[in-house]
Amino acid sequence: MQFRNVLVTGSGGLLGRHVVRELAERCNVSGFDRQRAPENVPQPIGDVTDVAAVRAACSGKDAVVHIAAMPNIWSGPGERIMTVNVTGTWNVLQAAEDAGVKRVILCSSDSVVGFTVMSGGMRPPEYAPVDQAHPLRPTDPYALSKLLSEQIGRSFVERGKLEVAALRPVFVLYPEMYGEVKARAQDPANYKGPAVGGPSAAGGGPLWHYVDPRDVARAFRLALEVRSFAAFEGFFISATSTLAPNPTLQRLEQHLKRPLEVRRPEIYAKNPYAPLYDLARAREVLGFEAQHDLRHLIN
């Protein structure tokens, strides 16, 4: 690990805890959240909308992993999501720059593409697989907050003092959600979750994307271990397959009611259930490829 002192915001959340555990034996990791997590690391309590608290948390750090956020479109009203996610990201990046932090890794989302939730407002992809050059067209407050956060990160890179990159995980599938995923797979036409006691309905958008939290945590670690980033970039983080019962291109055509341009057909020829997103950049730059396959949940 090239960074000795690393701050993880949102350390008390489900994903933050996985990231803290992934980093704990490799660097001096500390957390920052409104609630204390069970991990035995320094964890000042605070909110990312509190500038003074964020500045104190960033002091003396070499790198920051910024996860703290309203985690999805259902987590609160749009104005609250925008305040916490956008202002919070600004506060973290400004405090990091002022503290002499060298690198910040942002937790973004595949929702920036605009094809994840709120079916009435989703924008269909222009081609598959969706790569870094694809237009980003979010239509809901959560997705918009993540795109704006990425743009803030890009602006700080342009200032020349920080290295910033964004990871774009798809639906993070925690064990608490396994029952919902199984229920959806058993009766997809009639599934309306949460149906079996999960914290929310099974997610992943029309294609049922997912990624294991252990893989996401490893992706953040790898992003800290990269020697340098030449420019700001967003990396899609996904399992190597979806949880959908039918192949990706077939499912896309059924959903869109028309064929979709496929720019790298070899990906889907090799793996018919490959995700919508192009994972090549995460593999090439970060050395990341998901290690956990959970398709056994739907069989």
CATH for 5-172+213-238+277-291 is 3.40.50.720
- Quick one: pLDDT at residue 73? 86
Mean pLDDT, rounded, for 78-104 = 97
- What percent of the chain has a predicted confidence (pLDDT) above 90? 92
Write out pLDDT tens, residues 212-253: 999 999 999 999 999 999 899 999 999 999 999 999 999 999
pLDDT of 120 strictly over 80: no
Confidence of residue 1 (pLDDT cuts 50, 70, 90): confident
User: Is the pLDDT assigned to residue 119 strictly greater than 70?
Assistant: no
Name the helix (H) or strand (E) containing 52.
helix 51-58
**Angle at alpha carbon of residue 74, lines to 169 and 246, rounded to 5°:** 55
User: Residues near 113 by Cβ (< 8 Å), separated by ≥ 6?
Assistant: 123, 125, 130, 134, 136, 137, 138, 277
DSSP bridge pairs for 28: 5
Cα 282 to Cα 82: distance, rounded to the nearest angstrom: 27
Residue 198 above 80 pLDDT?
Answer: yes
Least confident window among 62-66, 111-115, 154-158, 189-193: 189-193
Residue 118 clears pLDDT 90, i.e. is over it: no
* CB of 104 closer than 8 Å to CB of 48: no
- Look at residue 89 in the predicted model and tell me its pLDDT: 98
Q: What distances in angstroms separate CA 279 from CA 57, 288, 289, one per listed residue?
A: 33, 9, 8
